Amino acid sequence: MSEQFTEFYYNQFDSDRSQLEQSMLTFETSQVQGAKDIVEKLVSLPFQKVGHRITTLDAQPASPNGDVLVLVTGELLVDEEQNPQRYSQVFHLIPDGSSYYVYNDIFRLNYGA
């Protein structure tokens, strides 16, 4: 399930960020809540083209209610940049019928020496 979610999420993000809806997003130091504000934040990011390369993907149950935590690490290629940026992202998925929705999304670029 976490692999299918991650593939769907990043394909959607990379092709059309305006179609994503989540409940709460923390992007670096900025926190927004509600689908409208989240979509505005995602489409206002300072790049036109982005590609995600997943390095690791871990998932585990988050509660007896079927919630799932997903941790992704990887690299971003934005616009025509040749040097990838490392990132980590955590998703808190809530069951919704036979599907899930993103309740929390925490994104952070990983800067290092």
DSSP state of 39: H
Could you give all domains of the chain from N- to C-terminal order, each with its CATH number? 2-109 (3.10.450.50)
What's the pTM value of the predicted model, to 2 decimals? 0.74
Tell me, what's the pLDDT at 19? 58
What is the per-residue pLDDT across 46-84, written as a single tens digit (0 to 9) for each? 777 888 899 999 999 999 999 999 999 999 988 888 889
CA distance 47 to 1: 30
| SS3 of residue 4 by DSSP | helix
Longest dimension (CA), the chain: 44
What is the per-residue pLDDT across 3-50, written as a single tens digit (0 to 9) for each? 888 888 778 777 776 655 556 777 788 888 877 787 787 778 777 788
Torsion angles phi and psi, residue 70, rounded to 5:
-125, 125
pLDDT at 100 over 80: yes
The pairing of strands 99-109 and 85-96 is: antiparallel
